[in-house]
A and B are shown apart, each in its own frame.
Chain A
Amino acid sequence: MSDLTTTPRLVEAGTSNTSYIGKPTSRVEGPAKVTGTAKYSAEFNVPGLLYGYVVTSPITKGRITKINSAPVLALEGVVQIFSHENVPSLAWFDRNYKDDVAPGGSPFRPLHDAEIKFNMQPVALVVADSFEVARYAASVLEIEYEQEKFDTNIDLKRDEGHKPGSGKTGFMPPPPPRGNPNDALKNATHRIEGEYIHGAQHHNPMEMFATTVEYHQDGKITAYDKTQGVYNVQQYITKIFGLSKDEARVVNHYMGGGFGSGLRPQYQVFLAVLAALELKQSVRVSLTRQQMFSFGHRPHTLQYLKMGTNPDGTLAALHHHALHETSKFEEYTENVVNWSGMLYQCENVNLGYQVAELDVYTPLDMRAPGAATGSFALEVAMDEMAYAAGLDPLDFRIRNYAEQDQNMKKPFSSKKLRECYHEGAAKFGWDKRTPEPRSMREGNQLIGWGMAGGVWDASMQKAAAKAIFTADGKLEVLSAAGENGTGTYTIMTQIAAETLGLPLEAVTFKLGDTNMPEAPLQGGSWTAASVGSAVKNVCTEVGEKLLKLAQKMKGSPLKGASIDDVHFADGQIRLNTNPSEAVVIRDILPASGEEKLEVESSAMPNMIKQQPYSMHSHNAVFVEVKVDEDLGTVHVTRVVNAVAAGRILNTKTARSQVLGSVVWGISMALMEETVMDHTFGRYMNHNYAEYHVPVNADIHDIDVVFVEEEDDKVNPLGVKGIGEVGMLGVAAAITNAVYHATGKRVRELPIYMDKLL
């Protein structure tokens, strides 16, 4: 690294040693993660820490009539029990509990009153001087309840759904019907229809929700909280507890998985802050794995599709209606059916979307919310339609390729789904498929090949970043973004290093702290676009300042050059016309006498540029399953996932995101379901032994193909986000492959063996 400053190497522009974007750079935080030095929220062992343990309701609806606190408070080591009986008066208005992504309605207020609204509702927090005593004390806290009748079964609410309001950010009501969908269906050459169902699913990140609140001498607090948005949590707790922003700092450097579960502040942060402020002591509250099923889930959803084709195999009509659960206090919404109006060309479309209220906690965005659900139903129906029309499922999709977004009546800013189909199919060997079900086998194993695909939003939000360049040649960039495994640390380091032509080792990216410039929630696959653009902007501004200072250096070859006349590479600012005319960046501050340069900047979407376009990422998934003919067990032996998501910043971490998405799709198709016992209104399998997710032995060959896609409209970086699109179509492709293997059409997930026997 240091030799760069003394013996400049001449490198052709564009091929410098400091061009990092698009390279498979290993995670810069890798050493911290593999050695256990990366600290998660429950791992800040501050002095004098107290431990809170949550008690949750065993009933689903009713009220608490008595809490027998005295014997528990008498136990040695127990410090306090917080419940609705002794919570101090907090913010009175509902709106103070509304976080940035709260849906419409009235948010749940922990320990607010005696009313029980859902099973496993937190009803008390027992605080003790050790985790063990808190856990024990919580297990002997006697609470009496009065029970009321409840509704937890969506099947009984089929006729009670209603169109939701527009209370939730990002929710788009389905477009009005187009064409003449009823007549077109009636006149179609071939028709299919069916109901598609999946149950509730819980995010279950490996790290359980936890908050360590450090109580400072001056009464201020630092909350180390598991969240996908430190600013969202800060505004939540400051509004509820009447704190100023200066009094409540929220930090999250590492998040042990989110998948949407940390988009909203969860109740442990409320409880930990409450206890710390009341006791004037540092407090940690960690949830148990069981309690990870007590807030937010992908909603149990029922979908109905009807489709018909014309004689030429084009879609004549498409009807897609969905109904899912929400809570009685908030109206959760997601975009389930809209995708069906834009993934394929069809003139006659009718989309409908309703929610029904149940006595459950409010559902919560979970990886590709709405699209994972909708694409499952749409893409299985497309497979059924292809079979009904006697067409190859891939050929059928290509025949119905949408050249524009018919929902919005706008062209796509870029769309390489056709390339996804072709490249994915070629890699998979789709042309060797025999179409008849049960036509491929290996001994006792029925082999099935299926495919599907999907579409996801390419979004960008406003984000800010700060950069500090110091005289030792080091660059620090800060933005309150999140790192939940997506690669934020790494890609931001790459962007910053490349923009200023610095070696990666000279750049440190810091995130997850309300003392840093604001970044949007870590969700919606928009972090790379949003924070990445802010990082690029702030580094560009640092570069401009460096250039000005460099021009003042004695004998500077850059005198008179504008920022467009130079480029930053290999630790130097070089003239474009003659790269050997350069200034070593590390020398600039020492020569100028400045100790550091500090710049803050932001980025926001260019609405004018974006407005004419529909901006989306796409994918196509090809799957091989082997189904044991006697046992009905399904193994996903081969997957090719071809993704078009704009520019890929880091092929290594992006590939991992798609690999993980495929694992999620396999999980959704074959394993995941939170099962409700409607007698009790309680999830039965609320633990990691009975809530099944894949283990290593369940995962076989997965190939990821990134289709090249240039897009100068979505954002200056040309990225579309990669965290969610890869999951789309996977569950459907598996379901379709199971049909091809067995001849059995499954329309309800997960595909357990009983559905195949």
Chain B
Amino acid sequence: MIQQPTNTSGGATSLPAPPSAGSVTLTINGVQRHMQLAPWTTLLDALREYADLTGTKKGCDHGQCGSCTVLVNGKRINSCLTLAVMQEGNEITTIEGLGQPENLSPLQQAFIDHDAFQCGYCTPGQICSAQGLINEGRAHTEDEIRELMSGNICRCGAYVGILAAVKEVVDKQSSK
């Protein structure tokens, strides 16, 4: 059996060369970042490997788990399913942009208060997703929140806390 047959045996033909890097400017958390990225670099890898913003997590790289959720122009997306070059000119917000340890966002504080995480790995994606959900303004009941937070897997099973945290912030926002 031949794995990944490429017809290059004997060196007669060579493999297609990787694409070369070019200048890409991304606006991340309000800061313009000039980066040298090959066009096949995902937004997720650009954040983690090139911008050293490792708060955005890689859990599957296939849009199946939601760990890499970020906000683009306020909308939640899986950053593993978009290329960095496609996001030039857009406002990208990552977990680092939502709040910092000394300056937590209401969602971040609610996640701590309700113990809405254990290992913490899915947490940035959960919080970005919850922020996106709040921005969408369509989830109000517990069932709606559960449903619309279901793109984010938590293997530790912190869903009870996640629901309570998101519900608390949703309720506070709608009572304003």
Contacts and interface: CB of A to CB of B under 8 A. Distances in A.
Interface string A471-490: 00000000000001111000
B59 A207 contact: yes
Interface in B52-69: 52-62, 64-65, 67
B94 A36 contact: yes
B168 interface: no
Determine the interface band of chain B, counting residues with CB < 8 A from chain A. 35 or more
Nearest to A39: B54
Nearest to B42: A132
Interface string A198-221: 000000111110000000000000
B31 interface: no
Interface string A681-706: 00000011100011111110010000
B112 A30 contact: yes
Contacts of B104: 31, 34-35
A688 B153 contact: yes
A688 B18 contact: no
A662 B159 CA distance: 11
Given A34-B104, A652-B115, A661-B157, 19 more contacts: A26-B113, A33-B117, A33-B123, A35-B101, A36-B55, A40-B121, A59-B1, A143-B2, A145-B1, A205-B119, A206-B65, A208-B60, A289-B62, A486-B118, A655-B115, A657-B118, A687-B60, A696-B145, A696-B146
Interface of B: 1-6, 8-9, 11, 13-15, 17-18, 38, 40-41, 45, 48-49, 52-62, 64-65, 67, 94-96, 98-101, 104, 108-109, 111-113, 115, 117-124, 127, 143, 145-147, 149-163
A133 B18 contact: yes
A131 interface: yes
B3 to A, nearest CB: 4
Contacts of B127: 34
B20 to A, nearest CB: 8
A32 interface: yes
Contacts of B123: 33-34
Given A659-B157, A661-B157, A697-B146, A688 B60 contact: yes
B14 A35 contact: no
Contacts of A622: none
Interface string A27-64: 10111111111111011010000000001011100000
B159 A74 contact: no
B17 A699 contact: no
9 contacts: A26-B112, A32-B101, A36-B54, A76-B17, A132-B40, A205-B119, A485-B156, A664-B157, A687-B64
A71 B8 contact: yes
Judged by DSSP, the binding face of B is loop
Given A36-B124, A208-B59, A660 B3 contact: no
Given A664-B157, A693-B153, A696-B159, A139 B4 contact: yes
A447 to B, nearest CB: 18
Nearest to A49: B49
Nearest to B128: A36
Contacts of B145: 696
Contact of A36 (B15, B64, B96): B96
A548 to B, nearest CB: 37
Contacts of B48: 42-43
A58 B157 CA distance: 32
A220 to B, nearest CB: 24
A90 B127 CA distance: 45
By size class, the interface of chain A is 35 or more
Nearest 6 CB-CB pairings of A with B: A36-B55, A663-B157, A485-B118, A256-B121, A33-B120, A485-B119
Contact of B49 (A29, A45, A662, A699): A45
Nearest to A289: B60
A572 interface: no
A615 B96 CA distance: 45
A689 B119 CA distance: 21
A626 to B, nearest CB: 14
A42 B58 contact: yes
Given A206-B59, A206-B154, A254-B120, A75 B17 contact: yes
A55 B6 CA distance: 15
Contacts of A142: 2-6, 8-9
A75 B54 contact: no
Contacts of A45: 49, 52, 54
